[in-house]
């Protein structure tokens, strides 16, 4: 019997995503000066206020308020009427040094390998449903909110009323053999200007008349937004073949959405972990990503598990796969690596046998993951909105300001800062660089 599956995404202006982007911008600013920085940065945003807290160990000097304000401005909160604005919001910085109790288990030293930054389990997932090897419901949801942001920033004349906060949710109908058939339902809620004012003169000067004028203006606003999203946004990002006369649309279903962003709801780092990963498909270990450097396996091992899963599916080893890896804090080797192909494996092997071969191909020790995926580079800000998985791997030039310690002419030590530009790879965990190795190992 056909069934339905739903996933959601949120825009870069959603308060939780604002917090994620601030945390990752601070992380990147530290990595740009000191690639060995240890960072665990949490952010809270609310009306007119940003609070940054957590633990860091770094040689970098970072203007925290400056990074916070720049990030907020790039998102689009630049107007006082939003009640949360880049130049005027307060910034409280409560970052402090990392616990030495944690550092002693993670640091690499003579006779001891770098251990995992925490215990826990991480998951990677991949499927053939979309070109990005992601679940279709989540992929379409990401595309919708990303397109709203693109229009707001690059073609504002198309929908000049858009504000930064938005959410999208897509429901896919699947067939009995687990194949996506059609988009059943699309839900989009976007923050907007109050761009049509009530015409009080056209109604009696009574309480009922004024209410009727407000209701009439609101209805015109919602009608315009619904028309624009159905005609301009949805067709540009969702294939026409996946839409039908049966597809249902709920656009701003609660009504007006003028008050939004951190003024509408407080935002916290790490509160959109399902949006960040697979939209509820597969599984999630519970650990958030943003604001954490790569010594935290919550982040680095989740990326590595996605890298494995995507390459397995791309190699033709299976049509769908879930990879789990688990660690003990301070211990380098994972305590387990498990594979579930959901019965879609194309080789005559049990999932346990497949997992054994995968373990031989992918070194999952924390240091090996960091080196394989280049996770000491300042590459994380771009991952903090529109999903950490399913993105396009690409090389970009970034500015670095490395800190070096040297002895001066008097024998004293001094810090020297050197600025340079470097080409680094973003979303390395999305690369299909192990496809040939997997094919060879499994005789595909």
Instruction: Catalogue the active-site residues.
Output: 14, 16-17, 42, 55, 167, 257, 265-266, 271-272, 292, 296, 298
d(CA 375, CA 4): 37
Ligand-binding annotation for 42, yes or no, is yes
Q: Flag whether 218 is marked binding.
A: no
User: Is 292 known as a binding-site position?
Assistant: yes
Nearest one of 305, 307, 275, 279 to 288, comparing CA atoms: 275
Q: Is 267 helix (H, G, I), strand (E, B) or coil?
A: strand
Q: What is the 3-state secondary structure (H, E, C) of 54-84?
A: EEEECCCCCCHHHHHHHHHHHHCCCCHHHCC
How distant, in Å, are the alpha carbons of 22, 46, 185, 297 from that of 27? 9, 21, 37, 16
CA distances (Å), origin 334, targets 98, 120, 167, 301, 341: 24, 10, 36, 10, 20
How far apart CA 233 and CA 146 sit, in angstroms, is 10
Q: Is position 74 annotated in a ligand binding site?
A: no
Three-class SS state of 321: strand
Residue 329 DSSP code = B
> Annotated binding residue at 220?
no
Is 165 labelled as part of a ligand binding site? yes
Phi, psi of 146 (to 5 degrees): -65, -40
Residue 179 assigned ligand-binding role: no
Q: Is 271 annotated as a binding residue?
A: yes
Residue 14 in marked binding region: yes
CA 216, 218, 221, 224 torsion-angle sign: negative
Token pair recorded at residue 84:
């949360």
- Is 288 annotated in a binding site? The answer is yes
Quote the CA–CA distance of 14 and 67 in Å, as a whole number.
18
Size of the chain, expressed as the number of residues it contains: 444
Q: Provide DSSP, 282-317.
A: S---S---TTB-TTSHHHHHHHHHHHHHHHHHHTTS
Residue 376 among known ligand-binding residues: no
The answer to whether the annotation marks 29 as part of a ligand binding site is no
Is 272 annotated in a binding site? The answer is yes
Q: Is 193 annotated as a binding residue?
A: no
User: How many CB atoms are closer than 10 A to CB 367?
Assistant: 16
Residues in the annotated binding site for ATP: 14, 165-167, 256-257, 265, 271-272, 288, 292
Q: Which residues are annotated as a binding site for Mg(2+)?
A: 16
Residues of the binding site for K(+): 42
Binding residues for L-methionine: 55, 98, 265, 296
């Amino acid at each position: 019997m056909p069934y339905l599956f739903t996933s959601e995404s949120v825009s870069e202006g959603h308060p939780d995503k604002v917090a994620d982007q601030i945390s990752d911008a601070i992380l990147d600013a530290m990595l740009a000066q000191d690639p060995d920085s240890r960072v665990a940065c949490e952010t809270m945003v609310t009306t007119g206020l940003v609070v940054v807290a957590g633990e860091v160990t770094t040689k970098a000097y970072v203007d925290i308020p400056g990074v916070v304000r720049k990030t907020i401005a790039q998102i689009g909160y630049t107007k006082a009427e939003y009640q949360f604005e880049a130049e005027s919001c307060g910034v409280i910085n409560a970052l402090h040094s990392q616990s030495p109790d944690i550092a002693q288990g993670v640091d690499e030293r003579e006779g001891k390998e770098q251990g995992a930054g925490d215990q826990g389990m991480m998951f990677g997932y991949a499927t053939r449903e979309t070109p990005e090897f992601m679940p279709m419901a989540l992929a379409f949801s990401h595309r919708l909110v990303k397109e709203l942001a693109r229009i707001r920033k690059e073609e504002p004349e198309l929908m000049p009323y858009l504000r930064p906060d938005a959410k999208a949710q897509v429901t896919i109908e699947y067939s009995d053999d687990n194949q996506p058939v059609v988009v059943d339902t699309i839900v989009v809620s976007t923050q907007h200007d109050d761009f049509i004012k009530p015409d009080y003169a056209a109604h009696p000067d009574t309480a009922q008349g004024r209410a009727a004028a407000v209701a009439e203006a609101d209805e015109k606003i919602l009608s315009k937004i619904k028309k624009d999203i159905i005609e301009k946004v949805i067709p540009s990002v969702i294939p026409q073949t996946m839409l039908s006369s049966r597809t249902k649309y709920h656009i701003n279903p609660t009504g007006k959405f003028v008050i939004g962003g951190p003024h509408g709801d407080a935002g916290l780092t790490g509160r959109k972990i399902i949006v960040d990963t697979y939209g509820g498909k597969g599984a999630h270990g519970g650990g958030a990503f943003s604001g954490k450097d790569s010594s935290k396996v919550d982040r680095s091992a989740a990326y590595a598990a996605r890298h494995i899963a995507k390459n397995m599916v791309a190699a033709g080893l299976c049509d769908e796969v879930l990879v789990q890896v688990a660690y003990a804090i301070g211990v380098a080797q994972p305590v387990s690596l498990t594979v579930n192909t959901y019965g879609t494996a194309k080789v005559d092997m049990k999932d346990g046998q497949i997992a054994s071969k995968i373990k031989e191909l992918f070194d999952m020790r924390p240091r090996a993951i960091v080196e394989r995926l280049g996770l000491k580079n300042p590459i994380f800000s771009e991952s903090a909105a529109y999903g950490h998985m399913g993105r396009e791997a690409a090389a970009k030039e970034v500015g670095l300001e490395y800190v070096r310690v040297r002895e001066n002419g008097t024998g004293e030590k001094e810090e020297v800062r050197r600025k340079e530009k470097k080409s680094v790879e973003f979303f390395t965990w999305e690369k299909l660089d192990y496809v040939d190795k997997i094919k060879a190992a499994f005789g595909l």
